[in-house]
Structure formats: C-alpha cells, structure tokens
C-alpha cells in the first residue's frame, strides 16, 4: 500500500469531489485540476474512472465499518460496548461527515453490492444479537426486538451526520460550530438514551 505523492494527491482530490458531487458528478478533469496534475495521470495510476471510484469507496467503507464490525464481534456485553460504539462512530463521523451520505447513496444505487461487502468485511450481527437477547432476558418485562435496538442505535449515531445541512440550518440557524458542539454532546447523551430502550 505504499503510494507515491501523486497517487495520494489523486486519492485526496477524488475523495473530496466524489464525496460532494458523486461519481457521475465529478469528472476526471475536475479531479486532476483539484490535484494540480495532468489528467492522463489518473488513467496511468488507476486505469479507469471506475477503478478510481472503487478505491475511494473502499477507503470510505473501511473508515466506516470496522469500528462497527469489531464491536459486533467483541467479547464485551452489549451494555459495555454500546457507549464505546457510540463514541467510535460519532468520532469517525466528526472527522469525515460526508462519508455516510456518500456510502449510503452508492449502496442505494447498487444494492446488489451489499452481499459481497458483508462477506468481505466479515460483518455478522448474529453474535451481537444473541448477546443482546440474553442480556434482555435478565430483566423482567417486554423488550424491543434486538434488531430494532441496534437499528435505533445506528440511526441515532449516523443520521444527524447524513442530515447535517438540514439540521445545521433548522436547529442551529446555520451556525456550524453549534452543530458540531451538539454532535459532540451526543457522545455523552446517547448511552443514556439507548439504555432506556434496551
């Protein structure tokens, strides 16, 4: 995975533009201009636009999924790992807030890609679901289906970033710093919220 400086600049510009404008919305020329290099170098390093996009998409996935995947597999109980998952996911989103919408848009266009991605990345919710179920069985009363609990958890962590422009404008009058502060707050707030619907 050793990359030349040129290669890194291509990836950096491709990320920036693909994240913002999508695959079809970003031309090879746009990316080359942003990187300050000749357009044909993109073909030299990545052969085709599809392959360049694929490199960006994979990198985006790998900053998105592993935190989730590793915690799904972890030895900890759900109550233990849940706050860590929240912190990991929110921190990841804060670093690159455009990833969720980029990834979800691509998967929405090409849902057929999901099975292979799950296989490749070793995503298996079975362990986490089972642990959650056994944990619920210790407490009396009715409980949410474990799948619904995890869907809620992911929704609360990820959606506010996918909807960033909407929330910033509606709830923070366009004040970006206020939006960011509120997102950081959520690392502290969400564990409590989640506890209440386990």
CB of 156 to DNA, least distance (A): 37
Which burial class, exposed, middle or buried, applies to 191 when counting CB atoms under 10 A from its CB (0-12, 13-18, 19+)? Answer: middle
6 binds DNA per the rule CB under 7 A: yes
- Please identify which residue in 12, 34, 41, 198 interacts with DNA, judged by CB under 7 A: 41
Residue 49 interaction partner, one of DNA, a second copy, none, beta carbon < 5-8 Å per kind: DNA
Dihedral sign, Cα of residue 71, residue 77, residue 80, residue 86: positive
Residue 40 interaction partner, one of DNA, a second copy, none, beta carbon < 5-8 Å per kind: DNA
What is d(CA 193, CA 145) in angstroms, rounded to the nearest whole number?
17
What is d(CA 175, CA 168) in angstroms, rounded to the nearest whole number?
6
108 binds a second copy per the rule CB under 8 A: yes
Binding mask 44-73 for DNA (x = CB under 7 A): x--xxxx-----------------------
147 binds a second copy per the rule CB under 8 A: yes
148 binds a second copy per the rule CB under 8 A: yes
CB of 20 to DNA, least distance (A): 14
CB of 29 to DNA, least distance (A): 5
Six token digits for residue 134: 């056994």
Residue from 183, 22, 42 nearest 107 by CA = 22
> Restricting to residues 24-43, which ones interact with a second copy according to CB under 8 A?
24-25
Residue 140 interaction partner, one of DNA, a second copy, none, beta carbon < 5-8 Å per kind: none
Six token digits for residue 116: 């292979």
Dihedral sign, Cα of residue 158, residue 156, residue 73, residue 115: negative
27 binds DNA per the rule CB under 7 A: yes
Q: Spell 73-102 as b/e; 16+ CB within 10 A means b.
A: ebeeebeebbbebbbbbbebbeeebbbbbb
Residues that bind a second copy (CB under 8 A): 20-25, 98, 101, 104-105, 107-109, 111, 114-115, 118, 123, 125, 144-145, 147-148, 150-152, 154-156, 158-160, 162-172, 174, 182, 185-186, 189, 192-193, 196-197
């Amino acid at each position: 995975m050793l990359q030349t400086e040129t290669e890194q600049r291509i990836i950096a510009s491709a990320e920036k533009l693909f994240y913002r404008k999508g695959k079809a919305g970003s031309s090879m020329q746009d990316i080359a201009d942003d990187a300050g290099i000749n357009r044909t170098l993109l073909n030299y390093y990545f052969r085709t636009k599809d392959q360049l996009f694929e490199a960006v998409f994979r990198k985006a996935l790998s900053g998105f999924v592993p935190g989730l995947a590793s915690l799904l597999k972890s030895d900890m109980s759900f109550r233990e790992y849940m706050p860590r998952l929240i912190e990991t996911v929110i921190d990841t989103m804060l670093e690159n807030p455009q990833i969720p919408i980029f990834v979800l848009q691509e998967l929405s266009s090409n849902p057929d890609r999901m099975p292979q991605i799950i296989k490749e990345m070793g995503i298996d919710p079975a362990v986490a679901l089972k642990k959650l179920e056994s944990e619920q069985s210790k407490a009396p009363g009715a409980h949410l289906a474990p799948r619904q609990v995890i869907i809620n958890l992911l929704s609360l962590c990820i959606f506010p970033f996918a909807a960033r422009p909407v929330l910033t404008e509606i709830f923070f009058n366009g004040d970006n710093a206020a939006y960011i502060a509120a997102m950081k707050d959520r690392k502290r707030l969400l564990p409590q919220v989640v506890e209440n619907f386990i």
